[in-house]
Amino acid sequence: MNMRVQPLLAGVDRAWLMAEAGARPRRNRLVLEYDTRRFPFAAALTRDVYKVQRLDRLHLYLRQHYLERGRPARLRPRDNLLLSDMMERQPATADFWTLYHAFMLQVLAPLVGRGISYTSHPKLRVHLAGTPSVSSFHHDICVTERIDQVNFWMPFTDVEAGAALWLESDYGSADYSPVSLRYGQVLIFDGGYLGHGSMRNDSERTRVSLDMRFSYKKATTRAEGVALLDHLAGILAPDSVSEGVPT
């Protein structure tokens, strides 16, 4: 399932962007696997935030909630924001945040092998089944200007097709395809320079996910970002990279 979405990137000088990307990392994406019994993020969210059995069925629960109150059951883009806000409102002492920081200290930092900087308050997102894109296609450096950072994208539901993050296969190729992941996998990718975004969630699953960026501590250069990706590629069995399922 490849889709060219060049018009969505209007206004970005892609030639400049590709020149800025400079030397390429060995892999522009990697998959990190972890034990969800040790880091039960989804269980914390179902218990403490949504009070439901399954996160990937949030669209069904929400429709039922609206129907019971005599309201239209059609889900709208703002429903994604409402549900995301519920996660964001968790207090700093919530189990979910404890798990997040434990993951950074016990999994990501040892993997990186030296000091890291990471986002203390990552973005939490919901993309309900049947709702439009929640993120137009973009390159993070156009917003952050942080050329040293690497992207970290962690779903708490299995994701494929419209529920997934869509990435271009190579810098500037604009041949976007979904990256299928299971709960228990994290996508690490070169999101500063590699275009990414979402499409309409035409899958049967709602996606709940976290995204943030990290870097070597005190890093400032693109070369340090590339070195970080190369270091991780040397550890994370590059053959495990999921490229999405062509249809």
Closest separation in Å from C-beta 138 to Fe ion: 6
Query: In the complex with Fe ion, which residue's Cβ is closer, 49 or 167?
Result: 167
Whether residue 152 contacts residue 189, with contact meaning beta carbons closer than 8 Å, is answered with: no
Cα dist from 104 to 83, 126, 135, 151, whole Å: 24, 22, 25, 14
Which 3-state string (H, E, C) describes 57-103? HHHHHHHHHHHHCCCCCCCCHHHHHHHHHHHHCCCCCCHHHHHHHHH
Instruction: Please identify, using beta-carbon distances, which residue of 29 and 63 lies nearer to Fe ion.
Output: 29
Whole-angstrom distance, CA of residue 57 vs CA of residue 180: 18
Q: Residues 55-74 vs Fe ion: string with x where CB under 5 A?
A: --------------------
49 touches 126 (CB < 8 A)? no
Binding mask 11-50 for Fe ion (x = CB under 5 A): ----------------------------------------
Nearer to Fe ion, 122 or 244 (CB): 122
Q: Which of 124, 133, 161 is nearest to 50 (CA)?
A: 124
Query: How many residues of this chain interact with Fe ion, rule: CB under 5 A?
Result: 1
Taking residues 108 to 147 in sequence order and writing x for each that binds Fe ion by CB under 5 A, - otherwise, the string is: --------------------------------x-------
**Whole-number Å distance between alpha carbons of 141 and 147:** 6
* CB closer to Fe ion, 116 vs 212: 212
Residue nearest to Fe ion (CB): 140
- Measured CA to CA, the distance from residue 122 to residue 112 in angstroms comes to 19
User: What's the closest the beta carbon of residue 154 comes to Fe ion, in angstroms?
Assistant: 14
CB of 191 to Fe ion, least distance (A): 5
Binding to Fe ion, residues 197-226 (CB under 5 A): none
Instruction: Give the span between the Cα atoms of 242 and 247, in whole angstroms.
Output: 15
Q: How far is the CB of 196 from Fe ion (least distance, A)?
A: 6
What is the rounded distance in angstroms from the CA atom of residue 42 to the CA atom of residue 20?
Answer: 38
* Shorter beta-carbon distance to Fe ion: residue 134 or 232: 134
- Asked if 99 contacts 40 with a C-beta cutoff of 8 angstroms, the reply is yes
Looking at beta carbons only, is 137 or 156 nearer to Fe ion? 137
User: Pattern of binders to Fe ion over 170-189, x per CB under 5 A?
Assistant: --------------------
Closest contact distance (angstroms) between CB of 12 and Fe ion is 13
Identify which of residues 100 and 189 has a Cβ nearer to Fe ion in the complex.
189
Q: Give the 3-state secondary structure of residue 110.
A: helix
**Binding positions for Fe ion, rule: CB under 5 A:** 140
